Amino acid sequence: MQLRPHHILDIISVYGKGIEYKPHPYGHSLHIVAPRLISNLNFKIKLVLDADGICEGCEHLLPDGKCKDVLPQLTPSPSKQAYNDVFDSRLFDELSIMPNTVITIHQFLAAVNEKVPGIEKICTHPKENQQERLHGLVSGLIKLGIREQT
Ligand code: SF4
């Protein structure tokens, strides 16, 4: 499965906060993909700077694989495609991983764990609380056995 790095971090953060994945009005596949990743850390993924497995079924996914959505929390609202591409490029750079790398979820999260705390400064969405993002990531990594409880 292809996945954008930030979509995985979104999943781990939500998991850490104990929030249930439910079908989204957009019709995308987050609620299907998230439990698959969390229940099998040996799941192999291809990290991409592109539409991914989460985008499947989304009403904003164009036939050419681009996203036509915008970021509603900002005014004016930028293109989500452009936002996502910059967001994930920064994550690839921070993690020293190249796009199209094939890796297990465990390997990816171990690399993320090396950058926690700190990575929340890059992976917090606009209008999202940075400390809450960090808390969700740390809790998710601990729950998955990637990070030791201190
Ligand atoms: S990135 Fe765009 S196409 Fe993909 S799930 Fe989000 S809104 Fe839908």
Give tens-digit pLDDT for 50-74. 999 999 999 999 999 999 999 999 9
Counting ligand 1 atoms within 8 A of each CB, the residue from 3, 8, 21, 54 with the most, and so the one to mutate, is 54
Within the chain, how many helices (H) and strands (E) appear?
Answer: 6, 3
Q: Closest Cα to residue 91, out of 74, 108, 71? A: 108
d(Cα 83, Cα 2) in Å, to the nearest integer?
18
Q: Is 103 helix (H, G, I), strand (E, B) or coil?
A: strand
What ranges do the domains of the chain cover?
Answer: 2-143
> What's the pLDDT tens digit per position in 6-27?
999 999 999 999 999 999 999 9
Counting ligand 1 atoms within 8 A of each CB, the residue from 9, 24, 28, 73 with the most, and so the one to mutate, is 28
> What's the pLDDT tens digit per position in 81-92?
999 999 999 999
Angle between the N-to-C axes of helices 5-16 and 105-113, in degrees from 0 to 180, rounded to the nearest 10: 80
| DSSP code, position 73 | T
> What's the pLDDT tens digit per position in 134-144?
999 999 999 99
Q: Is 144 in the pocket of ligand 1 (CB under 6 A)?
A: no
Inform me whether the pLDDT recorded for 150 exceeds 90: no
d(Cα 86, Cα 103) in Å, to the nearest integer?
21
